[in-house]
A and B are shown apart, each in its own frame.
Chain A
Amino acid sequence: AQKVTQAQTEISVVEKEDVTLDCVYETRDTTYYLFWYKQPPSGELVFLIRRNSFDEQNEISGRYSWNFQKSTSSFNFTITASQVVDSAVYFCALSTLKISNQFYFGTGTSLTVIP
């Protein structure tokens, strides 16, 4: 079965602090894709990153970085020097394509950055 677990329901940090959002996934497929989406209060899910299962290289994009570790089935997301605009719900998602073309989403982590 395909499953994404985001154990952190809510996180609050003070502006400029670093914060890491955890994501653990389950799949038996050897080829899969992992995603992070941001859902601000406006409601629209915004794509942040996509990573395929063959590429374990960590990625950095500005203040965002992602740590993909197949050994622990984790795809964690770190925001450095957080800002108030980072306040949103963040979803991790898994797509395997082999069994189904659906994307499996975690329950999300609500991040509040306090000024």
Chain B
Amino acid sequence: DTGVSQNPRHKITKRGQNVTFRCDPISEHNRLYWYRQTLGQGPEFLTYFQNEAQLEKSRLLSDRFSAERPKGSFSTLEIQRTEQGDSAMYLCASSLVLSRQEKLFFGSGTQLSVL
């Protein structure tokens, strides 16, 4: 197991286009998180899944954003009609929740640039 994997590493798109990112968590991890990080800031929570159920969404997650985790394995984050303000690093993290002993393992992120 090589950890959390995210694809692509970089994505450049034109404003108004749709983009989709993929995250493959550590196998057997039951929770999967999406975070967004802009330059000079810490990661900001977007949403998380417990198995295949999306249990929490941030107010940051506008209706242009949608995330899925079919079958409780990999997850996708789609941004529709991208805007320049969507430019950021999108981070995925997974965790195994056992007796509240939770810690997040992060992927290397997908850097999105909206032109």
Contacts and interface: CB of A to CB of B under 8 A. Distances in A.
A42 B85 CA distance: 23
Given A97-B100, A102-B45, A102-B58, A107 B40 contact: yes
Nearest to B104: A103
A45 interface: yes
Interface string A37-50: 10000111111001
Interface in B19-74: 31, 33, 40-45, 48, 55-56, 58
Interface in A23-62: 33, 35, 37, 42-47, 50
B91 A45 contact: yes
A107 B42 CA distance: 4
Contacts of A4: 42
Contacts of B40: 9, 107-108
Contacts of B109: 43-44
Interface size class of A (residues with CB under 8 A): 20 to 34
A91 B42 CA distance: 7
B55 A101 contact: yes
Interface residues of B, number: 25
B56 A91 contact: no
A37 B105 CA distance: 10
A106 B42 contact: yes
A102 B108 contact: no
Contacts of A102: 33, 45, 48, 56, 58
Contacts of A9: 40
Given A50-B103, A105-B42, A107-B42, A100 B108 contact: no
A43 B39 CA distance: 11
7 contacts: A9-B40, A35-B104, A43-B89, A45-B93, A47-B105, A103-B45, A103-B104
What are the 3 tightest A-B residue pairs by CB atom distance, in nearest-first order? Answer: A105-B42, A102-B45, A45-B106
